[in-house]
Amino acid sequence: MKIVLASDHAGFDLKEQLKPFVASLGYEILDKGAVEYNELDDYPDIIAKAARMVSRSPDRYRAIIFGGSGQGEAIVANRFPYVRAVVYNGESRGALYNDLDEITLSREHNDANVLSLGARFLHEAEAKEAVHRWLTTPFSQDPRHVRRIKKIETNTRSLHTP
9 catalytic, yes or no? no
Nearest to 131 by CA among 17, 10, 9, 43: 17
Three-state DSSP state, 128: helix
Contact assessment for residue 18 and residue 124, using Cβ atoms and an 8 Å cutoff: yes
Nearest to 81 by CA among 105, 47, 64, 57: 57
User: Using CA atoms, how far apart are residues 123 and 89, in angstroms rounded to an integer?
Assistant: 10
Contact assessment for residue 99 and residue 70, using Cβ atoms and an 8 Å cutoff: no
73 catalytic, yes or no? yes
Burial group, residue 63, by CB count within 10 angstroms (0-12, 13-18, 19+): buried
Catalytic residue among 16, 108, 109, 132: 109
> Which of the residues are catalytic?
73, 109
